A and B are shown apart, each in its own frame.
Chain A
Amino acid sequence: MAERTQILRIKRQQNPNSEPHWEEFEIPYLPHHNVISMLMEIRRKPVTRQGKRVAPVVFDANCLEEVCGSCTMVIDGRVRQGCSQLADHLDPTVTIEPMSKFPVIRDLWVDRSKMFEALKKAHAWIPIDGTYDLGPGPRIAPDVQQLAYLFSRCMTCGCCLEACPQVNSHSKFMGAAVIGQVYLMSQHPTGKMNHDERLQAMMAEGGIEDCGNAQNCVEVCPKGIPLTTAIGAVGRQTSIKWLRDLFMK
């Protein structure tokens, strides 16, 4: 009997400006493989099914434990991390593409910096660190901690942007991740102090109003973060802010 193999159809692209093309690789099947370890296998023997020696597939990966978010890619049409996509759960042929909502650097490596730019725009930080001792932080109720914890696990991987129909080249929508972080920061007593400026950023073009409520974000989030809850809550906070500003200013 022939040895069981895994075929990988990979969408490759030389650089950000070149046209993509497909290449197929065939590697021996191993039960403990995941998509990243299979790409590593290709690096050790970068030869296509047709026997052509090619440059090894370029991909971004680091922690391989769903903490860094860098190996996010589209596998069989669904966005997820390559490191947690087990070979056991794949068909004999798997299709691997880079995320389509981010500029491709090369092959499967994409530039996710727009997500970090969004976090900057939304002032997604809590001003706690300083050059002198600020004393003990405020106490937070356990239920608030638990809620915040859910959002604190966001790894800025980009799944929610990739699956979102409102995130694309002709829209400025920043995606759900940043809304989740704005919500997270608003849970923190110190973070609340700057909540108004975060909401201001959320009210701008590309912010929360550009959400189309397709709710794919919450379905594809590898961490199960309740992003749609954040969208609802931040939506409410902007409603209140607007009314308050209308009558109080």
Chain B
Amino acid sequence: MAEPGAIAAPIAAAGMTADERHWLLRRLHSLSGIIPIGGFLFFHIFENAFVLRGGTVWWKETEFTRTIPFQIAVEAAVLWIPILYHAIYGLIITATAQPNNYPYARNFQYTMQRITGVIAFLFIGFHVLSTRAFFYATGTETNYLRMHSFMIDPVYLTIYLIGTLACVYHLTNGIFTFSITWGIAVGPNAQRLVNRACTALFLILAIASVAILVAFRAPA
């Protein structure tokens, strides 16, 4: 498997062995999924939850996200670069997988993590193109009306439902695997506990996301 040369080169220049480079790239992938990407997803669900109190409240409460100084630079550093790295390296990792049907829950979660990863990659691409990239290209903000028009379209709604649920699954299961990878949850009991907590978190976030998406269907 080839390492993405563009990322590997500067690290190699820092005097790192190939072994450590492999470790670091993998760990960066693991870490970037939580910080900042996972963190942003939490925030993104949180900020959009204001829509449950109506479109006007939502627009007002999310105002500060549209007035960040050096917006493009911040977005690139906090979002686009980590997401691109996580996505591309994640696809490379996924390419080494050969899922099987051994009938264990964790094995199912493993397969789901890869499927939801690919879905999340496609969905985020679609979502970003149709909102942020659209804004940078046309100057049009994605306001309530625009979101509303998406959500009342069954095709858009289905895409968003599948996409957000995939993102939420990928994140919450990712928190679980993160805890193993970094050696936070080591023993079987600890891992079981974290897995349960992550499942609960998935349910909470899934309900919230669906509620948010549905809330956008309400007329302005």
| Contact flag A216-B181 (CB < 8 Å), given A203-B19, A203-B23, A232-B187 | no
CB pair A166–B186 under 8 Å, yes or no, is: no
Q: Would you give the shortest CB distance from B110 to chain A, in whole angstroms?
A: 3
CB pair B19–A213 under 8 Å, yes or no, is: no
CB pair B186–A232 under 8 Å, yes or no, is: yes
Chain A residues with Cβ below 8 Å from B187 are: 226, 229, 232
Chain B residues with Cβ below 8 Å from A214 are: 106-107, 109-111
| Contact flag A209-B22 (CB < 8 Å), given A229-B186, A229-B188, A239-B183 | yes
Docked complex Cα distance between A164 and B176 (Å): 18
Docked complex Cα distance between A216 and B104 (Å): 7
Chain A residues with Cβ below 8 Å from B181 are: 209, 211, 213, 235
Chain B residues with Cβ below 8 Å from A168 are: 96-98
Residues from 209 to 249 in A contacting B, C-beta threshold 8 Å: 209-216, 218-220, 226, 228-229, 231-239, 242, 245
Residues from 141 to 195 in B contacting A, C-beta threshold 8 Å: 176-177, 180-188, 190-191
Q: Does A171 contact B (CB under 8 A)?
A: yes
The 9 sampled A-B contact pairs (Cβ below 8 Å) are A165-B97, A170-B96, A173-B96, A200-B19, A201-B19, A209-B27, A213-B180, A218-B188, A229-B188
Q: Does B95 contact A (CB under 8 A)?
A: yes
Docked complex Cα distance between A228 and B107 (Å): 13
Q: Would you give the shortest CB distance from B104 to chain A, in whole angstroms?
A: 5
Docked complex Cα distance between A124 and B121 (Å): 39
Q: Does A204 contact B (CB under 8 A)?
A: yes
Chain B residues with Cβ below 8 Å from A163 are: 100, 102
CB pair A226–B24 under 8 Å, yes or no, is: no
11 extra interface residue pairs, beta carbon distance < 8 Å, beyond A165-B97, A236-B184: A163-B100, A203-B20, A207-B22, A213-B110, A214-B111, A226-B188, A232-B187, A236-B186, A238-B183, A239-B183, A242-B24
Chain B residues with Cβ below 8 Å from A229 are: 186-188
Q: Would you give the shortest CB distance from B140 to chain A, in whole angstroms?
A: 41
Q: Which residue from chain A places its CB closest to the CB of B189 in the assembled complex?
A: A229
Docked complex Cα distance between A173 and B18 (Å): 16
CB pair A215–B104 under 8 Å, yes or no, is: yes
Q: Would you give the shortest CB distance from B47 to chain A, in whole angstroms?
A: 31
Q: Categorize the interface residue count of chain B.
A: 35 or more
Q: Does A120 contact B (CB under 8 A)?
A: no
Chain A residues with Cβ below 8 Å from B24 are: 242
CB pair A233–B110 under 8 Å, yes or no, is: no
Docked complex Cα distance between A200 and B22 (Å): 11
CB pair B183–A228 under 8 Å, yes or no, is: no
CB pair A242–B23 under 8 Å, yes or no, is: yes
Q: Does A114 contact B (CB under 8 A)?
A: no
Q: Which residue from chain A places its CB closest to the CB of B187 in the assembled complex?
A: A229
Q: Does B217 contact A (CB under 8 A)?
A: no
CB pair A165–B98 under 8 Å, yes or no, is: yes
Q: Does A43 contact B (CB under 8 A)?
A: no
Q: Does B6 contact A (CB under 8 A)?
A: no
Chain B residues with Cβ below 8 Å from A166 are: 96-98
Docked complex Cα distance between A242 and B20 (Å): 8
Chain A residues with Cβ below 8 Å from B19 are: 200-201, 203-205, 207
CB pair B22–A204 under 8 Å, yes or no, is: yes
Q: Does A49 contact B (CB under 8 A)?
A: no
Q: Would you give the shortest CB distance from B155 to chain A, in whole angstroms?
A: 33
Q: Which one, B1, B26, B107, contacts A165 given CB within 8 A?
A: B107
Q: Which one, A172, A216, A234, contacts B107 given CB within 8 A?
A: A216
Q: Which one, B26, B106, B183, contacts A236 given CB within 8 A?
A: B183
Q: Does B99 contact A (CB under 8 A)?
A: yes
Residues from 121 to 160 in A contacting B, C-beta threshold 8 Å: none
0 or 1 for each of B78-102: is its CB under 8 Å from A? (1 = yes): 0000000000000001011111101
Residues from 160 to 186 in A contacting B, C-beta threshold 8 Å: 163, 165-168, 170-173
